[in-house]
Amino acid sequence: MGKEKIKRALIVGLGSIGHRHLRLLREEMPSIDILVLRSSNCSQPLPYGAQCTQDIDDACAYKPQIAIIASPAPFHIKIAKKLAEHGVHLLIEKPISNSTQEIDTFLESCKERKVIVQTAYNLRFLNTLLHFKKEIDSRIIGKVYYIKYEVGQYLPSWRPGKDYRTTVSAQHKLGGGVLLELSHEIDILRWVFGEIDWVSCRSTKLSNLDIDVEDCAQLNIGFSNGALGNLSMDFLRHDTTRCCTAIGEYGTIKWDAVSGQVNLFTAKLNAWQIIKNESPDRDATYREQIKSFIKAIEDGKSSTTASSGYDGLAVLKIVEAAKESSSKNSQSISIEKS
């Protein structure tokens, strides 16, 4: 596609993630006009010089060139379809939806209109994860045999100052539960280790948290290259954790997002060594994601790091397979490829 200069942007939804996108977009592009589409509170002034509307038709009439969709997952595709009809390029918060329904046709329609669609899996832009992937790709541990991934955080402490019961994470109707809310991990596993062929899962609610969704899930995963994996996800643990360990023919490599380290153990050295150490900065990945999205539009060059709309759909197919497996006594479910 040709080059395009961004002058007008739309942000859909103004929860905590919408506020972050608004702030970082303004920092990145100080002179553009920004409109926020939200369901209420348009009478209140917005920060960073943004204007407000509650009407999708008004938002389309504003003629934004880009939109960041940060509303709850069940509402993503309905709004995205309307904007895509007007040629608006889309960065859609993860997960791309709460269901695979209609996403194939939506993405094909965007392709025909030359509308860029990216899924906001911002962790792909984390430097320690990029280093981890580079080392895996370089075969520093040779063939990968087995992957163990753990992610968890106590839901009531996840968003300080906010009642966890009112958040998206806690509510089925808003696309909550660990499988959708922590789908970053599924995207990372696909991106780093390759396509996933099958999954078996047990997901349930173990705690007394006041939520109507699963608070933990255990997934066994089979990759197309023959590797096996295990993914543990929860809203329960007080020791916030996000780490991935890959075991290969020459050693083991571990990425720890919380500590900001990549560690390597090789059979040759028979010891662990730190090969990457960088303090995490929460804004950095979102900032790089926005830069990458804008560059794809203004320069016509999509980053290989960015997660596409089709990547977002692939993750959802795995989530749906995991839910089906859990409902069938952890039966292995093959993943339908796009």
How far, in Å, CA of 62 to CA of 95, rounded? 26
Q: 323 lies in a domain?
A: yes
Q: 61 lies in a domain?
A: yes
Question: What's the confidence (pLDDT) of residue 92?
Answer: 98
Q: 1 lies in a domain?
A: no
Q: 18 lies in a domain?
A: yes
Question: What is the sign, positive or negative, of the torsion defined by CA atoms of 224, 316, 88, 28?
Answer: negative
DSSP assignment of 2-46 equals ------EEEEE--SHHHHHHHHHHHHH-TTSEEEEE-SS-TTSPP
| Contact between residue 297 and residue 65 where contact means Cβ atoms under 8 Å apart | yes
Sheet holding 66-69, edge to edge: 51-53, 33-37, 8-12, 66-69, 89-93, 117-120, 307-308
Question: What's the confidence (pLDDT) of residue 3?
Answer: 61
Question: What's the confidence (pLDDT) of residue 63?
Answer: 97
How far, in Å, CA of 93 to CA of 163, rounded? 22
Question: What's the confidence (pLDDT) of residue 202?
Answer: 98
Residue 269, C-beta contacts closer than 8 angstroms, at least 6 positions apart: none
**Domain shared by 257 and 162, yes or no:** yes
DSSP assignment of 210-261 equals S-SS-SEEEEEEEETTS-EEEEEEES--SS-EEEEEEEESSEEEEEETTTTE
Domain containing residue 297: CATH number? 3.40.50.720
Q: 3 lies in a domain?
A: no
CA angle 57, 63, 68 (to 5 degrees): 85
Note the pLDDT tens digit of each residue in 230-273: 999 999 999 999 999 999 999 999 999 999 999 999 999 999 99
Domain containing 117 equals 8-123+286-307
Q: Which residues of the chain have pLDDT under 50?
A: 1-2
Residue 8, C-beta contacts closer than 8 angstroms, at least 6 positions apart: 32, 33, 34, 35, 62, 63, 64, 65
- 90-107 burial, b at 16+ Cβ within 10 Å, e below that, comes to bbbbbbbbbbbeebeebb
Question: What's the confidence (pLDDT) of residue 299?
Answer: 85
Element (H, E) at 277: strand 271-277
Domain containing residue 253: CATH number? 3.30.360.10
**Domain shared by 180 and 323, yes or no:** yes
